[in-house]
Structure 1
Amino acid sequence: MSVPPSIRSGLDVSRETLEKLELLERELRRWQSIKNLVGPATLDQIWDRHIVDSLQLLDLAPEAKSWVDLGSGAGFPGLVIAIVGQERGLNVHLVESNSRKCAFLRQIARLTGSSATVHEARLETVIPGFVGKADVVSARALASLDQLLEWTEPMLKAGTIGLFPKGRDVGTELTEARKKWTFKTDILPSRTDSEARILRITSIESHS
């Protein structure tokens, strides 16, 4: 399945990068029948629901050189960011505890020649090694904002930017998180879902 014309016209990437994204789509469809990497209902919306939705995060941290993606799953957003960010020298670390998903991530990183390192481990064991060493930490559809802040607090305090896409319950999540945390956040619109928002967090302090 090729890139829908409406999406192709809006992608500001080179022909080589577009071909790598198309390879990601083909491989995801091939692996999906065996490994069930993404929700089956989203398979016919790979480009807008997964690829473009992931890609919009890159524009929110254009100077980033080191990126950590938590709970990478089938590679959204981390693998897409690694493929597109390759031309700007971006190094991406994909943290995922599921072995079959890690196998997929490694395969696509190898086929596309992307600067993506796969960490097959629980994120709690990996995060300490990136404190003060990553420009961005991201997580998509992984956990509540409160839980994400709990995990990433050491990184955010050290200057890492947090980019967390959220759905229609973003207001509730912000209210709950502010009971425990004081943080600076930009609430940004999503290009792919009018009800979704992207939280860009740049500072944090615990109330305790």
Structure 2
Amino acid sequence: MAEGQHPSPDDVSRETAARDAAPAYFGDAYAAVARFTQRLADEGETRGLIGPREIDRIWSRHIYNSAAVVPYLPPRGTIADLGSGAGLPGVVIAAMLPEAEVLLVEPMERRCAWLAEIRDALELDNVEIKRGRAEEFHGAFEADAVTARAVAALDKLARMALPLVRRGGELVVLKGRNVDQELPAARKVLRKFGAGEPEVLRASTIEAVEETVVVRVARPKLGR
């Protein structure tokens, strides 16, 4: 790492605790998740997937953060991850929910190539990669749940995502701590699409890692 980018003692301690807890936390998914994490550590910076500061905190900052959304997703059915990028959270979701079909939606060709390599290396037969922007797939498919991480403000994300959520499905996204500031603008968009009130959840994984903010929005079935 470059000068000034060395991890703090707290970061080192947190990452060590997160890595040590991973076998028990991830269970049957651990082997795949660990291989994915190692690939990110080895290649993520050079392939433009993560910044140099992130290499020494992949488990604590990215893998567990991605895993935090899994309890709020359906264990079966179709889940779409918009702007999948490095595969966060989509690859982690696919490893943890092997009975779900996971669609990784990503517009950049080089990132799609990475995702394809990871899918094949980890033998994630439940993953399909769709190259393009979310809006390009409106009308092409609907998912039981649509998720995203660090893609856009909630109002913009809702415009991108809700047409991909089937009636009776949910938008379940990872957001930052200041998400409350995004809610007023988002509510107008949500009403337009007939979606419900956004539910802000505090999702935890292990004690050593900070809780994650998850926003869940239902798209109710049309009245009979």
User: TM-score category by the smaller chain?
Assistant: 0.7 to 0.9
2:75–2:97 contact (8 Å) kept in structure 1: no
How many Å separate the matches in 1 of 2:170 and 2:100?
Answer: 15
Aligned to 2:10: none
Structure 2 match to 1:112: 122
Root mean square deviation of aligned Cα: 2.1
**Mapped pair 1:169 → 2:178:** yes
* Structure 2 counterpart of 1:13: 27
Per the alignment, residue 5 of structure 2 pairs with none
Equivalent in the alignment of 1:186: 199
The answer as to whether partners of 1:165 and 1:199 remain within 8 angstroms in 2 is: yes
For 1:130, the aligned partner's letter is F
1:60 maps to a residue whose letter is Y
Residue 63 of structure 2 aligns with which residue?
Answer: 51
Would you say 1:92 and 2:102 are equivalent positions?
A: yes
**Alpha-carbon deviations, 1:179-203, whole Å to 9, x = none?**
4433322211032434x52101103
For residues 114 and 139 of structure 2, the distance between their equivalents in structure 1, rounded to whole angstroms, comes to 25
**Larger CA Rg, structure 1 vs 2:** 2
Secondary structure in 2 matching 1:37: coil
Distance 1:180 1:92 in 2: 26
**Does the residue aligned with 2:60 lie in a helix, a strand or coil?**
helix
How far apart are residue 33 of structure 1 and its match?
A: 4.0
Match of 2:167 in 1: 158
Deviation at 1:127, TM superposition (A): 3.4
Query: Are the structure 2 counterparts of residues 127 and 48 from structure 1 closer, same or farther at C-alpha, using a change threshold of 3 Å?
Result: farther
In the TM superposition, what is the alpha-carbon distance from 1:157 to its structure 2 partner? 6.0
Indicate the residue corresponding to 2:217 in structure 1: 201
TM-score in terms of structure 1 length: 0.85
% identical aligned pairs: 30
For residue 51 of structure 1, report the CA deviation from its aligned partner: 1.1
1:178 Cα deviation from its structure 2 partner: 2.1
CA 38–13 in structure 1, closer or farther in 2 if over 3 Å, else same: same
Select which of 144, 148, 151 maps to 1:135.
144
Amino acid at match of 2:100: L
Aligned residue type for 1:96? E
Uncovered stretches (5+) of structure 2, i.e. residues with no partner: 1-14
Report the Cα offset of residue 75 of structure 1: 0.3
Given the alignment of the two structures, is residue 27 of structure 1 paired with residue 42 of structure 2, yes or no?
no
Q: Which amino acid aligns with 1:149?
A: A
TM-score using structure 2 length? 0.79
Is the alpha carbon distance of 1:121 and 1:180 closer, same or farther for their aligned partners in structure 2, counting shifts above 3 Å?
Answer: closer
